[in-house]
């Protein structure tokens, strides 16, 4: 079965180091629980690109999964990230 990208123009690949280039507010950061935290400028590693779920193709709104710390991951759009 061919892997489908479903509209995700993926230049990034798993293992790439990336930096958040746009202001992205999250509320689930472990050190700032239930408070607005801006990810702009933070660096992490791409750990997954969500194009399939349980073997079926999906079109995720936030397809790039980035691990920032051991305890913190976030799903982001490709246009919010830059490869470093």
pLDDT in tens, 6-57: 555 567 899 999 999 999 999 999 998 889 999 999 999 999 998 888 888 8
Q: Give me the DSSP letters along 29-56.
A: -TTSTTS-EE-TT-EEEEEEE-SEETTE
Banded model confidence at residue 2, pLDDT cuts 50, 70, 90: very low
What's the predicted TM-score (pTM) here?
0.81
Q: 49 lies in a domain?
A: yes
Q: What single DSSP character describes residue 83?
A: E
Q: 55 lies in a domain?
A: yes
Q: 7 lies in a domain?
A: no
The reported pLDDT for the residue numbered 23 is 95
CATH number at residue 31: 2.30.30.50
Spatial contact of 47 and 63, defined as CB atoms under 8 Å apart: no
The reported pLDDT for the residue numbered 9 is 56
Domain count, the chain: 1
CA angle, 6 then 49 then 76, to 5°: 95
């Amino acid at each position: 079965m061919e892997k489908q990208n479903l509209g995700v123009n993926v230049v990034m690949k798993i293992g790439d180091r990336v930096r958040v280039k746009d202001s992205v507010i999250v509320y689930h950061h472990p050190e700032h629980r239930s408070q607005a935290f801006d990810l702009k400028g933070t660096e992490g590693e791409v750990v997954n690109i969500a194009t399939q779920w349980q073997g079926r193709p999906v079109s995720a709104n936030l397809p790039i999964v980035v691990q920032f710390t051991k305890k913190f991951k976030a799903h982001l759009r490709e246009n919010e990230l830059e490869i470093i």
